[in-house]
Amino acid sequence: MAEAIDIRELNMRIEQQSSFVTNITTGMDRVIVGQKHLVDSLLISLLSDGHILLEGVPGLAKTLAIKTLSQLIDSKYSRIQFTPDLLPADVVGTMIYSQKDERFQVKKGPVFANFVLADEINRAPAKVQSALLESMQEKQVTIGSETFELPNPFLVMATQNPIEQEGTYPLPEAQVDRFMLKVVIDYPTIEEEKKIIRANITGEVPEVKPVTTAQEIINARKVVQEVYIDEKIEQYIADIVFATRYPERYGLKELKDMISFGGSPRASINLAKAARTYAFIKRRGYVVPEDVRAVAHDVLRHRIGLTYEAEASNITSEEIVSRIINKVEVP
């Protein structure tokens, strides 16, 4: 019975803490039409302390979404436009010689912000991508001989366009793995498109005011960590990730030749974290299998390596994840 009381008390605390989720969603809806999935994914990565990679054709409000989110949270925001001639120092900062003091001074780069938008991350060479990814993993940056902590919360949101493959440097697998979620954004529906046209031809820009603080986000993260995950759900998560490595064990023999490598333990950790945050956003104190299924595509999409055979048969990691989810037994 103690378990039931705990959950009830936890549900009440979640109700109190998650009031700002409604405020953020409402604020986003005022600026962005539709794209519900994108807004949810941003909230999941924000509350799980993970980073997010967005892929979609230009003009689908990827940049606008993160900008609006950072305005709704009273925090520092910076945007880095990645180009082929960008240098690591342009991202993290550098040492500048001051003639007045006759010594080198540290000039911090745009990465020192709560929200960093890495626009078109696959346009910059690998050394720049690595510089950003060190700061993502370690939450710190080394300039010269000094090491600086990055602010908390720290969220990197990277965007990449799938279409123009010329002049792009694809992110190496090890680096893509550091993103908690990879979200593919689709076109709006025709009704949403009409709303977008209407909103943009009137020329009224909705004013965005902060509805929450960085401290409130940090407090909410603590509550998210208390969301209950049952052993059966843990088993379910492990089964899904193991099915990406050894599909034949789960009756998916046909996928064995399609997958060159499956999800790492990072996939399991992030799947559990994302499912827990999804439950929190849905105002629940415990995780159900539907939560895991809801976030599985975004967590696993970029962690499955496809063989040449899969590419020749036009099979995407998307389809593989769907097949696995439909096959693995739900607790």
**Cα–Cα nearest to 6, from 276, 232, 225, 227:** 227
Is it the case that residue 5 has pLDDT exceeding 70? no
Instruction: Please state, rounded to an integer, the average pLDDT across all residues of the chain.
Output: 88
* pLDDT over threshold 90, residue 277: yes
* Choice among 33-47, 54-68, 287-301 with the minimum mean pLDDT: 54-68
Please provide the distance, in angstroms rounded to a whole number, between the alpha carbons at the two ends of the chain. Answer: 22
Taking the C-alpha atoms of residue 285 and residue 220, their distance in angstroms, rounded to an integer, is: 13
- Confidence at residue 2, expressed as pLDDT on a 0 to 100 scale: 46
As a whole number of angstroms, the distance between CA 168 and CA 221 comes to: 35
d(CA 39, CA 144): 38
Question: Of the ranges 48-57, 89-98, 201-210, 321-330, which one carries the lowest mean pLDDT score?
Answer: 201-210
Confidence of residue 164 (pLDDT cuts 50, 70, 90): low
Q: Mind listing the pLDDT tens digit for each residue in 15-58? A: 887 788 888 998 998 888 888 899 899 999 999 999 999 988 88
DSSP string, 63-119: HHHHHHHHHHEES-EEEEE--TT--HHHHHEEEEEETTTTEEEEEE-TTSSSEEEEE
Query: What is the structure's pLDDT at 179?
Result: 92
Q: What is the mean pLDDT of residues 157-168?
A: 76
Q: Is the pLDDT of residue 309 over 60?
A: yes
Residue 298 has pLDDT above 60, yes or no: yes
CATH superfamily of 227-327: Magnesium chelatase subunit I, C-Terminal domain (1.10.8.80)
Q: Tell me, what's the pLDDT at 8?
A: 82
Average pLDDT for 162-190: 83
Distance (Å) of CA 83 to CA 19, 92, 128, 176:
39, 15, 10, 18
**27's tokens:** 């604020």
User: Any idea which architecture 23-186+213-218 has in CATH?
Assistant: 3-Layer(aba) Sandwich (3.40)
| For range 82-90, the mean pLDDT | 92
Residue 294, pLDDT above cutoff 90: yes
Between CA 18 and CA 281 the distance in angstroms is 7
- Asked if residue 84 has pLDDT above 70, the reply is yes
Query: Is the per-residue pLDDT at 66 higher than 90?
Result: no
Instruction: Check the CA dihedral 241-242-243-244 and report its sign.
Output: positive
pLDDT in tens, 214-252: 888 888 899 899 898 999 999 999 999 999 999 999 988
User: Residues 117-157: pLDDT tens digits?
Assistant: 998 888 888 888 888 877 888 899 988 888 999 998 899 99
Please, which pLDDT band fits residue 182 given cuts at 50, 70 and 90? very high
- The domain segmentation of the chain, as residue ranges, is 23-186+213-218, 227-327
More confident residue, 168 or 308: 308
